[in-house]
Amino acid sequence: MNEATRVRALRVALVLVGLIFIVGVYPLMMAWWPSGWRWQPNQPEYEQMILGVYATLGIFLLIAARNPLRHRSLIWFTVWSSLVHAGIMTVQAINAPAEHGHLMGDIPALAIVAIVLAVLTPRGVPEAS
């Protein structure tokens, strides 16, 4: 994949992930798949906090999609924070039988986000603009 195609694909991925973070996490957590996205017992304070953090990140990913090369640090933050979040949740879900649904829900979703963004983000020195 050449650089231009890679950046184009990265822009699409950033828009998709951004939109999912803004409007997709809430329905997944509250209605569509609570066992894979909502931790027990239901904790409204935690849920509001995590939804707020991910919606904010989603907005910034949409902004980054305009010029991904200028926003590599945000993209790499999203990659690494998603991997760390997924890793912590994996340990917690394995240790709590009631949370095993997350092993097929939000944990792989975060890993996929991290992998896709990491594979598509160009390395090296950004071009001067």
Let me know if residue 129 belongs to a domain: no
Let me know if residue 41 belongs to a domain: yes
User: Average pLDDT in the 36-42 region?
Assistant: 75
Share of the chain above pLDDT 90, in %: 61
Nearest Cα neighbor of 58 from 22, 110, 109, 15 is 22
- Inform me whether the pLDDT recorded for 12 exceeds 60: yes
Nearest Cα neighbor of 86 from 109, 59, 54, 62 is 109
pTM above 0.75, yes or no: yes
Let me know if residue 97 belongs to a domain: yes
Structural domain boundaries, residue 45: 3-120
Let me know if residue 99 belongs to a domain: yes
Find the distance separating the first CA and the last CA of the chain, reported in whole Å: 23
What pLDDT, on the 0 to 100 scale, is given for residue 102?
A: 87
Let me know if residue 65 belongs to a domain: yes
Let me know if residue 128 belongs to a domain: no
The structural domain count of the chain equals: 1
Q: In the block, which residue shows the tokens 């894979």?
A: 36
Let me know if residue 125 belongs to a domain: no
